[in-house]
Amino acid sequence: MKMFPHALLAAALVCTTSAQAGVIVGGTRLIYDGGKKESSLSVSNPDKKPYLIQTWVEAAGTGAEKAPFMVTPPLFRLDSGQQNVLRIVQAGGNLPSDKESLYWMNIKSIPSAESNDHQNTLQIAVKTRIKLIYRPKGVTGVPEAVTEKLHWQRNGEALQVTNPTPFYRNFMQVKVGRKDVKDVTFVAPGGSARFALPAGANAGSVSWKIISDYGGIGDEHTAAL
């Protein structure tokens, strides 16, 4: 029995996990303006060690659809204290001209490995995944300006929202009365989404806040149920 604590101490000394500060991505979402040739996103490294950065865009669905966007540079080294700019260019694709399209922007940061013969280290690659929303040239304005057009209704034990606008609506908060609706996400343009109603939510109104193009939180809006 006396050997057990010593074995734990030895294991702790041999296996050490090194903490990583990681890179910083310059945004929580990327709105691609269809009227421009490209969009951009910054990444910076405040850590003391270099990182290998890998970038790509993928489709929002679960199928084999390939995203019609190219990121440059797709793979590069980011040294300590440096910043780089990712350029995203549309590469083909027959995207709708009357509503937004959703894709995912991926930035994987892989820390450099330190050579140490006397210590085991665990290097962890971190992938940041943010929404890339393609906004066609013909879609003008911002989602906040027409958020009152969202239609809300009860549907059994669920709260259903229908979005007749051309914008994706990313929710920061949804409440029925004073009760928070859990796990709210977004509703696609021209589509509907359903969220589970909180227990005991009998109020006749719903309130919501959406996330802006720049990641900010919008004003609270209300509607009758």
137: left (phi over 0), alpha (psi -120 to 50) or beta: alpha
Question: Tokens in use for 189?
Answer: 């343009």
How would you write the pLDDT of the chain (225 residues) with one tens digit per residue? 444 444 333 333 333 333 345 899 999 999 999 999 999 999 999 999 999 999 999 998 766 688 999 999 999 999 999 999 999 999 988 999 999 999 999 999 999 876 665 666 667 889 999 999 999 999 999 999 999 999 999 998 999 999 999 999 999 999 998 899 999 999 999 999 999 999 888 888 999 999 999 999 999 999 998
Are 114 and 121 spatial neighbours (Cβ–Cβ below 8 Å)?
Answer: yes
pLDDT at position 104: 96
pLDDT of residue 149: 97
DSSP state of 94: -
d(CA 32, CA 186) in angstroms, rounded, equals 18
From CA 191, how far away is CA 183, in angstroms rounded?
18
How far are the Cα atoms of 1, 83, 106, 133, 166 from residue 99, in angstroms, in the given order?
Answer: 68, 33, 23, 10, 4
CATH of domain 143-224: 2.60.40.10
Rounded Cα gap, residues 187 and 178, in angstroms: 22
Phi/psi region, residue 215 (left: phi>0; alpha: psi -120 to 50; beta: rest), is left
CATH class of 23-135: mainly beta
Determine the straight-line distance between the first and last CA of the chain, rounded to whole angstroms.
65
Q: Do domains 23-135 and 143-224 have the same CATH topology?
A: yes
User: 126-135 and 15-17: which strand pairing?
Assistant: unpaired
Beta-bridge partners for 86? 41
pTM of the complete model: 0.84
Which pLDDT belongs to residue 17? 31
Q: What is the pLDDT of residue 53?
A: 97
Q: What is the pLDDT of residue 2?
A: 44
Instruction: Specify the pLDDT at position 118.
Output: 63
Domain boundaries, the chain: 23-135, 143-224
Q: What is the C-alpha separation between 14 and 4, in angstroms, rounded?
A: 16
